[in-house]
């Protein structure tokens, strides 16, 4: 018996010194480590604290990224509104410029009308001068002379009426010219005032468009700044995730060492009998949802080399000790959740993971069939179930070789 214990201790020490860690093997631990695993427990707590801190950093980075994305999205919506406003201003400026060109064309037309009216007036003035000259050269008789020289009263009326009509005609033409000129000049003044107003509106719209474009440029710079911060925080988050994976891997190794220490302790202690006579650990359910060995990863962080069997059961269902033994581990880990390890002697241990509650503590002796925990979904889990594992001499073996 002593020889067997000595071989076990030597093998455990050799495995730890050479650092043998595989996906389905646990290292042995020397007798001194079995007695005092406080260093491992301290490392485990330190690693768990680091994991918690990293998760807080990741959450803070994700919150900051979300806030930056929201600010960026708000700015993009605002810029979209500004773009629409700039397009509307551009269209307004275009319409005003067309109106200005039309006013200029109308003013030119009025100028032509004014020139034509002036030409007509000038011609009338020349004609009037010729008539006056004619009357002057031929003498303009007085009414008495017209009466004395007329052959009859009818002749007198005709000659006096002609002279009067010439004077009246010229006055009417002069009045018509003055009225037409005033009308055209007023129309020209109105058109020029309208043109000036349109120019003012176009200038104002142009200034407003420049202001909007300047604001768009500034907001685009802000978006670029937000994107740079988002990229930086995303890089930080990636680094945190990488660090988290490393720490969780380290935690898993420490937990394996603690489990190996418990197994070694069982080998070196008095033990609680043989490894035969295991019973099914979940009386309420015999439904196996995942078997021992290679499998697709069911959830991020879960193993692809399954080291036990998963038994699907309702939340809170009883988990019983598969065989009598001593509790070597009863704690929580990020991967296994709440879990229990029981040593049964002769290098045999059983593992119960993802529990919703633990009813036993380290060092406690339990009987076969005694309720030790309740089914849950803690740690890396996709639903309520019991992960049941069997360790033989530090190596996980297929539980179905021990429970039918």
- Each residue's pLDDT tens digit, 290-312: 888 876 656 655 566 788 999 99
Residues 86 and 213: beta-carbon distance below 8 Å: yes
Residues 279 and 320: beta-carbon distance below 8 Å: yes
Least confident of 22-26, 125-129, 370-374: 22-26
Is residue 333 over pLDDT 80? yes
For 87-152, the three-class secondary structure string (H helix, E strand, C coil) is: HHHHHHHHHHHHHHHHHHHHHHHHHHHHHHHHHHHHHHHHHHHHHHHHHHHCCCCCHHHHHHHCCC
pLDDT level of residue 264 (50, 70, 90 thresholds): low
Is residue 277 over pLDDT 50? yes
Residues near 114 by beta carbon (within 8 Å), at least 6 away in sequence: 181, 184, 185, 188
pTM over the 0.85 mark: no
- Judging by DSSP bridges, how do beta strands 325-333 and 318-320 pair with one another? unpaired
Residues carrying CATH 1.10.287, the chain:
68-235
Is residue 366 over pLDDT 90? yes
Least confident of 3-17, 99-113, 297-311, 328-342: 3-17
Is residue 90 over pLDDT 80? yes
pLDDT level of residue 159 (50, 70, 90 thresholds): low
pLDDT at 372: 97
Residues carrying CATH 2.70.70.10, the chain:
270-401
Q: Tell me the percentage of the chain whose pLDDT exceeds 70.
A: 71
Is residue 321 over pLDDT 60? yes
Find the mean pLDDT for residues 51-63.
90
Least confident of 102-116, 337-351, 362-376: 102-116
CATH class of 270-401: mainly beta
pLDDT at 157: 56
Least confident of 148-152, 192-196, 335-339: 148-152
Find the mean pLDDT for residues 255-279.
57
pLDDT level of residue 89 (50, 70, 90 thresholds): confident
User: 3-state DSSP: the chain helix, strand, coil percent, rounded to 5?
Assistant: 60, 15, 25
pLDDT at 274: 36
Between 28 and 175, the higher pLDDT residue? 175
pLDDT at 7: 40
Segment of 97-111, 117-131, 362-376 carrying the highest mean pLDDT: 362-376
d(CA 387, CA 404): 15
Least confident of 164-168, 177-181, 307-311: 164-168
pLDDT level of residue 12 (50, 70, 90 thresholds): very low
Is residue 388 over pLDDT 90? yes
pLDDT at 1: 38
CATH number of 68-235: 1.10.287
């Amino acid at each position: 018996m002593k020889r067997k214990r000595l071989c076990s201790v030597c093998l455990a020490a050799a495995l730890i010194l050479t650092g043998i860690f595989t996906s389905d093997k646990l290292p042995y631990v020397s007798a001194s480590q079995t007695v005092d695993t406080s260093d491992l427990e301290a490392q485990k707590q330190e690693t768990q604290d680091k994991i918690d801190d990293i998760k807080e950093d990741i959450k803070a980075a994700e919150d900051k990224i979300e806030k930056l994305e929201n600010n960026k999205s708000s700015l993009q919506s605002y810029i979209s509104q500004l773009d629409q406003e700039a397009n509307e201003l551009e269209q307004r400026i275009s319409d005003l410029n067309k109106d200005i060109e039309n006013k200029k064309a109308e003013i030119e037309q009025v100028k032509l009308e004014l020139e034509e009216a002036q030409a007509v007036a000038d011609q009338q003035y020349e004609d009037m001068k010729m008539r006056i000259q004619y009357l002057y050269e031929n003498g303009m008789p007085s009414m008495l002379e017209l009466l004395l020289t007329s052959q009859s009263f009818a002749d007198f009326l005709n000659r006096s009426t002609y002279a009067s009509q010439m004077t009246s005609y010229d006055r009417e033409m002069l009045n018509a010219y003055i009225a037409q000129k005033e009308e055209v000049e007023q129309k020209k003044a109105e058109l020029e005032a309208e043109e000036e107003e349109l120019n003012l509106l176009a200038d104002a719209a142009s200034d407003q468009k420049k202001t909007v474009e300047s604001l768009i440029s500034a907001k685009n710079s802000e978006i670029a700044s937000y994107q740079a911060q988002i990229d930086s925080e995303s890089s930080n988050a990636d680094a945190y995730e990488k660090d988290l994976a490393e720490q969780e891997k380290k935690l898993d190794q420490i937990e394996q060492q603690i489990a190996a220490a418990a197994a070694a302790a069982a080998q070196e202690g008095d033990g609680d009998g043989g490894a035969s006579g295991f019973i099914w650990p979940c009386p309420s359910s015999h439904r196996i949802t995942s078997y021992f060995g290679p499998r697709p990863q069911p959830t991020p962080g879960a193993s692809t080399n399954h080291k036990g069997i998963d038994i699907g059961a309702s939340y809170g269902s009883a988990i019983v000790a598969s065989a009598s033994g001593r509790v070597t581990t009863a704690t929580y880990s990020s991967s296994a959740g709440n879990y229990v390890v029981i040593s049964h002697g002769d290098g045999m241990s059983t593992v119960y993971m993802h529990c919703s509650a633990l009813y036993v503590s380290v060092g406690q002796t339990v009987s076969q069939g005694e309720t030790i925990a309740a089914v849950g979904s803690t740690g890396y889990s996709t639903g309520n179930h019991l992960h049941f594992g069997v360790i033989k001499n530090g190596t996980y073996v297929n539980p179905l070789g021990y429970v039918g």
